[in-house]
Structure 1
Amino acid sequence: MRRAFALGDQMSRLYRRRSSVRLALGLSMLVAAGAGVIPAPALAELTAYTRSVAEAAGRSDLISGWYRERGYRTLWTGPGDAARREAFLSAITQAAAHGLPVQRYDAAALAARFRAAATEGDRGRLEVAMTQALLDWAHDLHSGVLDPAKVDPGIKREVPKLDPRAVLAAFETDPVRFLNGLAPRNPEYARLMRAKLDLERRIARGGWGAEVPLRPMKAGASGPDLIALRDRLAAMGYLGRTATNTFDDTVRAALRVFQHDHGLTPSGVADEATIRALNVAPSARLGAILVAMERERWLNIDRGERHIWVNLPEFTARIVEGGNVTFETRSVIGKDSADQRSPEFSDQMEYMVINPSWNVPRSITTKEYLPLLQRNPNAAGHLKLIDSRGRVVNRGAVNFNAYNARNFPFSMRQPPSDGNALGLVKFMFPNPWNIYLHDTPSKSLFDREVRAFSHGCIRLGQPFDFAHALLSAQTDDPQALFQSQLGTGKESVIRLEVPVPVHLVYFTAWAGPMGRMNYRADIYGRDAAIFDALSRAGVVPGAVQG
């Protein structure tokens, strides 16, 4: 840092060598073109600098045009640019702390170029390099390093993007304020940064120690396996200093907290699933944190004072108001198959449908039901066959074997009923993928730890209570309003007077309000793909700025 901040003196020496008076005069004359005769020596100096900037910026129309429009006025290398220069170089020394690719901005290399700059060509090239580094830094810290759609097709998220010209203007006006406002403001991002630093320190000290042998243990156990379990829990912060050599209540209580934090049934028994979770390497957990930080940058938006948060790997849906969870329920998400994984995106919930009909998606109709109908026209009798004009078709009049998945001309619909696949209520935020939240008659699935069974939509464990919580914002008696529609048995709609943002997200690592980390399995393999892409982009776990 001291070396970076000494660059003001270095640039001053460069200006003395190259005659700062003539350069400043030349720059001002270029900005005010035609305002007098430019002395030949200053013109020569100026031409070398501007030629260098133009050549260096040639690969970027944006940077080239921006310098040309401002008469090649400096942003970094002029006699009055020291504060901006130092603010930026100071900021990018934190690239590793943010889990960003250090070499993309490389504060040390830029600082070295300032110290080595000796000619106007050096200065022009350095101007452009610094500007490009600023644009890269602003984009990556604010919006993420990766384009999520290129990593996994199931990530449909619209990433917030900064306008590059607005970036340059805001930075020039108030560099410190601009730089401080780039990172996600959500408190979770800061918690992840702290967790990353803590875990890196733990890894540097040897990690969490020896793995626990994969042999189940329960209360009263003792011996080397128990000692390994005790020491692992202590190293991970779940158990205080203790010399116990038996599986006592203290160890059991610590194990329950660990199980809760990792989405396991908090039984207090060291079963095989729990031991496997305990033995996940700290380096793997660090990778999950890096991915979570990238995901937070993709979500660097106003999430809404009141919003719905559905974390797919956690199998949970929440209503959040003012940063506090006011309602929570278990969820079932899409199966881990190519065409049934639940996508990630944000939208606005607009209404709920009471006693809904289920309009069977075309993919399910042709892939699942058409083969059944070809074997038995009376199969799936709970579904009605509908023609293109919305009329119910007599199955006996249809030769199902004459059709295939491409030319099948009918749709299928299940009328409202207690056995309807959507249950008795669905929650709508219209989107191109036909994804919504809904009730289900298959209640037993909510007792499972891993709940990936749907065709992509999100099933809720407590849909009526979820509806009441949503409606509480627009009526003093949400239960009565809901029941008045439910009791008719007919399909009806209740609109939300104020649409509620809904975020379908995928976090396998997050820190609770007290800072303790939670982890979940990467059920769709998306985090693994993101981590690989971050690595290819130059993100190095545990990297430090040289």
Structure 2
Amino acid sequence: MLLLLRRAGLLQIMIVTGAILIMALTTLSPVSAQDRSMAFRQAVAEAAARDDDLSAHYRESGYEPVWTGAGDADRARRKALITALREAENHGLPGVRYDADGLLAKMSEARTPRDLGLVEVALSKVFLTYARDVQTGLVVPGRVDDGIKREPPYRNRQAYLGAISQSSPEAVMRALPPQTPEYARLMKEKMRLERLMASGGWGPMVQSGTLKPGETGQGVAALRNRLIRMGYMKRSITNTYDSAIQKSVQKFQSMHGLEADGVAGESTMEELNKSVEDRLKSVIVAMERERWLNHERGARHVLVNLTDFTARIVDDGKVSFETRSVVGKNAHDRRSPEFSDEIEHMIVNPTWHVPRSIATKEYLPMLKRNPNAVSYLRLVDVRGRTVNRSNVDFSQFNARNFPFDIKQPPSRSNALGLVKFMFPNKYNIYLHDTPAKNLFSREVRAYSHGCIRLQDPFDFAYALLAPQEADPKNVFHSALNTGRETQIDLETHVPVHIIYRTAISSAKGHMEYRRDVYGRDARIWDAMAKEGVELRSYRG
């Protein structure tokens, strides 16, 4: 019977299955309507007993069915659910987790009111699992990597059941995934890459060392062919690294966060030789990350992408300001965390309050060797008094009993530069200036202790102040010129989202890729694969 139902098509499956369920109650059960109702209610209560949200929903609704009723609305809900489960893999979710075929089998085999009650709860459980997965993520971020501090915006599970019971089921299902342009573009790229997998990907890798303009040979031909297959170059038969290849390499480099020098060096070759499968994993992980951030981000917000080494101000969906950034070094205690908060104020001419971890791990050993080391830093006791180093025996202290705070007064050589942007958080992370300007010219910019350094902090400050000041530049420099630590509050706090995306789309639909600098995306992919997510290819 189930095989026949599958061949009938999805809509017919739901109609026929609905008929089977109703037939079971009206013709096969030789009991009264009251007894049928009691058997159904008891089965629902038993099956939902270990799920507080499900139990509460059915109790409050008087055990009215959501899925297994005889009416058109019930059939519409069943159809919408099975359709969504069939399409779960389009969202990079594991179809096996929801087992649409198993649900259809249970529906087709139901013969008693008790069977129907068990089917009812099975459908609700799968719906709740799918709804949360597609709306706020399949895996829990903090369990994958302790640097991901993001808390997905989980919705009330009973509200899901209320919505599907009272609203258009098709509309409810459509509204579950993130509605952002980024998510839609990621889905489109996922389908494109799946088609590429089916057709053999981008062809052979480029088995060559560094290639430069003017060179000839098989390596250049392989590079040419790879660029053509990837869509960065028009068809050509040249074996010479000419201007066309150079421009194509530069375009590739700019879209992969590489120095666009037109030379196919080690880092460029590494990215060129990434497979379609590798890029597809990045896209699927980016979709999962987009689900973790499935909430209002602010008409104006700051977006820091750690893999991209940039900080941007976004106004009404468009980037209005952009600057390079330096992020945390790829070491366990230095990697920049991912989270969201709000910028509340900026501090001009800041004092650097050296974090205790840095004070004890880096500066205390130096002070033990030479009490006058790092003389530009002040040691402060618990009463806020500056300590005379010559009176201190640093050899008696360790990371646990070191009794002093270390501070660096405001100056142009201050580690924070001349301004820092504060969104008070328990991770002690903020955006700031830096005297180490040379780092911004590097391709990979992971050097800090975790905070985000900005290449153009003054311009960033002007942009933040613009909505509240007629002359933001003058306001900022008036504070700066005093040389004193000064706090400037933002009248309207600005949300800041520190994210980590190795697959990024542009408004024009072009997909860009970045390196997995902390290995976080690889760990997320592994976690998703354990839940049943698989790469697939198809000719569509």
TM bucket by the smaller chain?
over 0.9
Pairwise CA distance, 1:350: 0.6
* 1:328-367 → structure 2 map (5 Å cutoff): 328-367=322-361
- Measured against aligned partners, the alpha-carbon deviations of 1:249-302 in whole angstroms (never above 9, x if no partner) come to 221111111001111111111112111110011111111111100000000011
Matching residue within 416, 421, 428 for 2:422:
428
Matching residue within 77, 89, 103 for 1:84:
77
Q: Against the structure 1 CA distance between its residues 344 and 17, is the aligned structure 2 distance closer, same or farther, given a 3 Å change threshold?
A: closer
CA distance, structure 1, for counterparts of residue 341 and residue 65 of structure 2: 42
Q: Which of 532-541 and 113-122 deviates more?
A: 113-122
CA distance, structure 2, for counterparts of residue 17 and residue 543 of structure 1: 41
CA distance, structure 2, for counterparts of residue 43 and residue 444 of structure 1: 80
- Measured against aligned partners, the alpha-carbon deviations of 1:230-254 in whole angstroms (never above 9, x if no partner) come to 1111111111222333222221111
Counterpart of 1:258 in 2: which secondary structure?
helix
- The answer to whether structure 1 residue 206 and structure 2 residue 200 are counterparts is yes
Paired position in structure 2 for 1:121: 114
The one-letter amino acid of 1:58's match is A
Q: Which of 234-243 and 369-378 deviates more?
A: 234-243
* 1:346-495 → structure 2 map (5 Å cutoff): 346-495=340-489
Matching residue within 2, 12, 20 for 1:13:
20
CA distance, structure 2, for counterparts of residue 50 and residue 439 of structure 1: 64
- Measured against aligned partners, the alpha-carbon deviations of 1:2-24 in whole angstroms (never above 9, x if no partner) come to 5332222232233234317x99x
- The answer to whether structure 1 residue 102 and structure 2 residue 108 are counterparts is no
- Do 2:197 and 2:537's aligned partners in 1 also have CA atoms closer than 8 Å? no
Counterpart of 1:96 in 2: which secondary structure?
helix
Q: Against the structure 1 CA distance between its residues 483 and 17, is the aligned structure 2 distance closer, same or farther, given a 3 Å change threshold?
A: closer
- The answer to whether structure 1 residue 152 and structure 2 residue 159 are counterparts is no
* 1:242-261 → structure 2 map (5 Å cutoff): 242-261=236-255
Paired position in structure 1 for 2:219: 225
Matching residue within 66, 70, 94 for 1:75:
66
- Measured against aligned partners, the alpha-carbon deviations of 1:481-534 in whole angstroms (never above 9, x if no partner) come to 111111111110111111100010000111112222211111111111101000
Counterpart of 2:399 in 1: which secondary structure?
coil
Q: Which of 160-169 and 1-10 deviates more?
A: 1-10
Paired position in structure 2 for 1:182: 176
* 1:44-83 → structure 2 map (5 Å cutoff): 44-80=35-71, 81-83=74-76
CA distance, structure 2, for counterparts of residue 210 and residue 216 of structure 1: 17
Root mean square deviation, CA, Å: 1.6
CA distance, structure 1, for counterparts of residue 320 and residue 17 of structure 2: 57
CA distance, structure 1, for counterparts of residue 54 and residue 10 of structure 2: 24
CA distance, structure 2, for counterparts of residue 155 and residue 178 of structure 1: 29
Q: Against the structure 1 CA distance between its residues 247 and 40, is the aligned structure 2 distance closer, same or farther, given a 3 Å change threshold?
A: closer
Counterpart of 1:327 in 2: which secondary structure?
strand
- The answer to whether structure 1 residue 520 and structure 2 residue 526 are counterparts is no
- Do 1:428 and 1:437's aligned partners in 2 also have CA atoms closer than 8 Å? yes
- Do 1:522 and 1:528's aligned partners in 2 also have CA atoms closer than 8 Å? yes
CA distance, structure 2, for counterparts of residue 522 and residue 204 of structure 1: 25
Report percent identity of matched pairs.
52
- Do 1:216 and 1:271's aligned partners in 2 also have CA atoms closer than 8 Å? yes
Q: Against the structure 1 CA distance between its residues 476 and 55, is the aligned structure 2 distance closer, same or farther, given a 3 Å change threshold?
A: same
CA distance, structure 2, for counterparts of residue 307 and residue 116 of structure 1: 53
- Do 2:194 and 2:537's aligned partners in 1 also have CA atoms closer than 8 Å? no
* 1:284-299 → structure 2 map (5 Å cutoff): 284-299=278-293
- Measured against aligned partners, the alpha-carbon deviations of 1:132-184 in whole angstroms (never above 9, x if no partner) come to 01111110111000110111111111210110111110111112222111111
The one-letter amino acid of 2:305's match is N
Q: Which runs of 5+ in 1 are unaligned?
A: 24-38
- Do 1:355 and 1:424's aligned partners in 2 also have CA atoms closer than 8 Å? yes
CA distance, structure 2, for counterparts of residue 14 and residue 506 of structure 1: 48
Paired position in structure 1 for 2:3: none
- Do 1:222 and 1:247's aligned partners in 2 also have CA atoms closer than 8 Å? yes
- Do 2:24 and 2:112's aligned partners in 1 also have CA atoms closer than 8 Å? no
CA distance, structure 1, for counterparts of residue 112 and residue 315 of structure 2: 58
The one-letter amino acid of 1:3's match is G
Q: Which of 116-125 and 153-162 deviates more?
A: 116-125
The one-letter amino acid of 1:4's match is L
CA distance, structure 1, for counterparts of residue 344 and residue 468 of structure 2: 13
CA distance, structure 2, for counterparts of residue 470 and residue 144 of structure 1: 32
CA distance, structure 2, for counterparts of residue 76 and residue 451 of structure 1: 53
CA distance, structure 1, for counterparts of residue 35 and residue 501 of structure 2: 57
- The answer to whether structure 1 residue 241 and structure 2 residue 200 are counterparts is no
CA distance, structure 2, for counterparts of residue 70 and residue 151 of structure 1: 38
The one-letter amino acid of 1:73's match is E
TM-score by length of 1: 0.94
The one-letter amino acid of 2:137's match is G
Pairwise CA distance, 1:62: 2.1
Paired position in structure 2 for 1:30: none
- Do 1:4 and 1:111's aligned partners in 2 also have CA atoms closer than 8 Å? no
- The answer to whether structure 1 residue 167 and structure 2 residue 173 are counterparts is no
- The answer to whether structure 1 residue 4 and structure 2 residue 10 are counterparts is yes
Paired position in structure 2 for 1:29: none
CA distance, structure 2, for counterparts of residue 91 and residue 231 of structure 1: 39
CA distance, structure 2, for counterparts of residue 66 and residue 517 of structure 1: 43
CA distance, structure 1, for counterparts of residue 500 and residue 182 of structure 2: 14
- Measured against aligned partners, the alpha-carbon deviations of 1:327-358 in whole angstroms (never above 9, x if no partner) come to 11110011111111100000000110000010
Q: Against the structure 1 CA distance between its residues 17 and 499, is the aligned structure 2 distance closer, same or farther, given a 3 Å change threshold?
A: closer
Paired position in structure 2 for 1:35: none
The one-letter amino acid of 2:178's match is P
Q: Against the structure 1 CA distance between its residues 426 and 17, is the aligned structure 2 distance closer, same or farther, given a 3 Å change threshold?
A: closer
- Do 1:308 and 1:503's aligned partners in 2 also have CA atoms closer than 8 Å? yes
Pairwise CA distance, 1:392: 0.8
- Do 2:195 and 2:537's aligned partners in 1 also have CA atoms closer than 8 Å? no
